[in-house]
Structure 1
Amino acid sequence: MTQSLDEITVVAPHFKRRLSGVTSTVIQLVPEQRRQGLGILTLGPGLPDHLPKMRWKQLPGLWKKPRTGTGRVWHARRNNEMLAGLVLRDVLRMPLKLLFTSAAQRHHSRYTRWLISKMDGVVATNAKSGSFLKVPHTVIRHGVDTDLFRPAMETDADPATILPEAMRDKHLIGCFGRVRHQKGTDLFVDAMIALLPDHQDWAAIISGRVTAEHTAFADQLKSKIAKVGLSDRIHFLGEVDDIKPWYRRLTLYVAPSRNEGFGLTPLEAMASGTPVVASDAGAYAEMIVEDETGKVVPAGNGEALTAATQSFIDNPARCAEAGQKARRHVVENFALEGEARALADVYAGLRANRKVA
């Protein structure tokens, strides 16, 4: 059913079909923004059917101003979405304000810097990302839905029933995300090979997509695991339809990325009552309270990752205590409601022609 644009004040384009961190953000954030009364629609492929969408044929409707205010906000999160906004605003003269959210922690290309310079407002997802921006910006950290990502309850079904029988009753360590070098999956596997032989009551699971270009990488990891006889203790789940029950089933989560934009998985794990060992990639170091909700190690440092992980699996009771603190920390500091409210203030400022910085 096509929704009228009369009450719509924000358009969130999504110009990518494959699941990504940006996709996860949009999937969680837009429903919360709607619950808070914001008139927002998504535009583009790769999003689930339950999200509110505008259709491509409705684009000419953006020439007409909404019922309230003087125009709409086009909230881009990728280069192609910024470019589309520029065409709509500057070529087709649609009454739009352009907002870009940057999660990248690297020096932007000349092209990206040019696009960003044309935006009416810029948001960085964390202080480190903001340090690479050459324009005024607002830091708004991502949040997670703490109702969806929650600790386990007695009524929850145990997802571990699909695991090999030898793993089902063990403490589980998880590493979730696309299986590739950038995500540090090999560092996690190396840590598990070093630790699991001396910790017989623990097992490890890896969940995430293996794309064609990274198949050889994944196959090498599986071969390495088989050679040391741990195929029944380190299990590849593949890409699962619903990751939330697995976070609840974990005793410890590990995020070993070498490079990230923001990275939601540590927040999702902590909201689920699971402590986290993470690299300092992305915004991980800004999420974790050292030695209380988890530990942070230098990105790419396998020895440090192994040592930090061992400090938890040597003491499962410590994991339980840290998991409780992690849940409280996320609820108090990273709830999705806070991100939605902060963005609403930015949208309102742009629509009122106030400078956003």
Structure 2
Amino acid sequence: MTYRDPGQIDVLAPNFKRRLSGVTATVVRLVPLQADSIAIAAVAPALPDHVPQIRRRDLLTMSASGPSGHRVWHARRNSEMLAGLVLKHLFRKRLKLLFTSASQRRHTGYSKWLIRQMDALISTSCKTADYLDRPSRVILHGIDTGNFSPPADRAAIKASLGLPPGPIVGCFGRIRAQKGTDVFVDAMIELLRDRPKAAAIVMGRATEKHRGFERDLKARVAATGLSDRFLFPPEVPVHDIARWYQALDLFIAPQRWEGFGLTPLEAMACGVPVIATTVGAFEELIVPGETGALIPPGDVASMVSAAAKLLDDPSELSRQSANARSHVVSDFGIEREAEAIVTIYRALLDAAE
């Protein structure tokens, strides 16, 4: 790892959580892109080598001012907002504090206090902005549409992964009740019973707390005799996940609650229509009838109906597949997200002069 000189950095993007999370993925995706147009570095315990970084201890020893005078401290968690305040007020670092909120729930008194100390706010969706007591700039997440792209030969991808050749419906992400994995399982059991060529995939990780939940889901599938077509492959590394999207014909995001939710964008970028619940930012990502469908959370019957409608009409599935890819490319490229955030960085640095 080659660390950057903190004296040359204008923007600091902390990521204090060691375990992989949505925030970690966001920092890993954005910081290398943003580094092409502004002097930015992440501050984190464990990130890939290609992400520009400084050491955590550099935060205390770096000069009070950056090359542009103030630096921007871009927090995405409470702990990171607090760290920015400590650096600014106790260690006298000249910082402009920026916070990105992805939460769609009422903030605690402590969180509200932290948010009031920020110089600027970003929300990842319009729904998220509604939960803040202060104005924020809404910037939807984007993805790398080069990495996530339709396959040249979907059948070949399926074969290379050892998957059945028929239509496959996928659900990727953490395995837990909040993510609605059980709703997906119940819906797919019903769907697969009447469609002997179709298959379903649940891919993700269940933490220790949710292992019993995962075992129960696998037992439900086994009891129906569908285990050969209802698969639970092990979680794959981030760099390999695009191939699994490319093997799908339909993706379902069954969440009961979500902050934002990137999986529908990743699927659509690979030319896979998406059925999603009306939580998180999904209503701002999916165009019903054009790139998939929206259904109420927890509604097994609606999920079965929406999936059957597409799987039983190959020409409509193909049309929405093409629409899904064009929709993401035109509106949700990661370059757009990175540029919009850099504009805010520059405005904060200019205002501090």
Question: What is the deviation of 1:237?
Answer: 1.2
RMSD over aligned Cα atoms: 1.6
Which secondary structure state, in structure 1, belongs to the residue aligned with residue 293 of structure 2? strand
Q: Which digits, 9 at most, give the CA deviation of each residue in 1:121-175, with x for residues without a partner?
A: 1100010000000012111111111111111124996265444xxx421211110
- In structure 2, the residue matched to 1:226 is 222
Written as runs of structure 1 = structure 2, the 5 A alignment for 1:65-80 is 65-67=65-67, 69-80=68-79
- 325, 328, 337: which one pairs with 1:327? 325
Q: Distance in 2 between matches of 1:175 and 1:345?
A: 35
- In structure 2, the residue matched to 1:42 is 42
Amino acid at match of 1:304: S
Q: Distance in 1 between matches of 2:181 and 2:295?
A: 15
- In structure 2, the residue matched to 1:251 is 249
- In structure 2, the residue matched to 1:56 is 56
- Residues 1:88 and 2:87 aligned together: yes
Amino acid at match of 2:202: I
Written as runs of structure 1 = structure 2, the 5 A alignment for 1:39-188 is 39-67=39-67, 69-154=68-153, 158=157, 160-163=159-162, 167-188=163-184
Q: Distance in 2 between matches of 1:156 and 1:26?
A: 34
Amino acid at match of 2:89: D
Q: Distance in 2 between matches of 1:155 and 1:213?
A: 36
- In structure 2, the residue matched to 1:283 is 281
- Residues 1:4 and 2:2 aligned together: no
Which secondary structure state, in structure 1, belongs to the residue aligned with residue 233 of structure 2? strand
4+ long deviations beyond 6 Å: none
Q: Distance in 2 between matches of 1:88 and 1:343?
A: 22
Question: What is the deviation of 1:75?
Answer: 0.5
Q: Which digits, 9 at most, give the CA deviation of each residue in 1:68-116, with x for residues without a partner?
A: x221111000010111011001121101111000010010111111110
Q: Distance in 1 between matches of 2:122 and 2:80?
A: 15
Which range is displaced more, 303-312 or 125-134?
303-312
Q: Which digits, 9 at most, give the CA deviation of each residue in 1:25-61, with x for residues without a partner?
A: 11211122123x2211111124223211111231134
Q: Distance in 2 between matches of 1:326 and 1:155?
A: 16
Question: What is the deviation of 1:272?
Answer: 0.9
Which secondary structure state, in structure 1, belongs to the residue aligned with residue 81 of structure 2? helix
Task: List alignment gaps of at least 5 residues for structure 1.
Answer: none
Q: Count residues in correspondence.
A: 349
- Residues 1:25 and 2:21 aligned together: no
Which secondary structure state, in structure 2, belongs to the residue aligned with residue 41 of structure 1? strand
Written as runs of structure 1 = structure 2, the 5 A alignment for 1:238-317 is 238-241=234-237, 242-317=240-315
Which secondary structure state, in structure 2, belongs to the residue aligned with residue 73 of structure 1? strand
Q: Which digits, 9 at most, give the CA deviation of each residue in 1:263-322, with x for residues without a partner?
A: 000001111111100001100010001100000111222221221111111123322211
Q: Distance in 2 between matches of 1:156 and 1:346?
A: 44
Identity %: 47
The answer as to whether partners of 1:277 and 1:308 remain within 8 angstroms in 2 is: yes
Query: Given the two structures, how large is their TM-score scaled by the length of structure 2?
Result: 0.95
Task: List alignment gaps of at least 5 residues for structure 2.
Answer: none
Amino acid at match of 1:97: K
Query: Given the two structures, how large is their TM-score scaled by the length of structure 1?
Result: 0.94
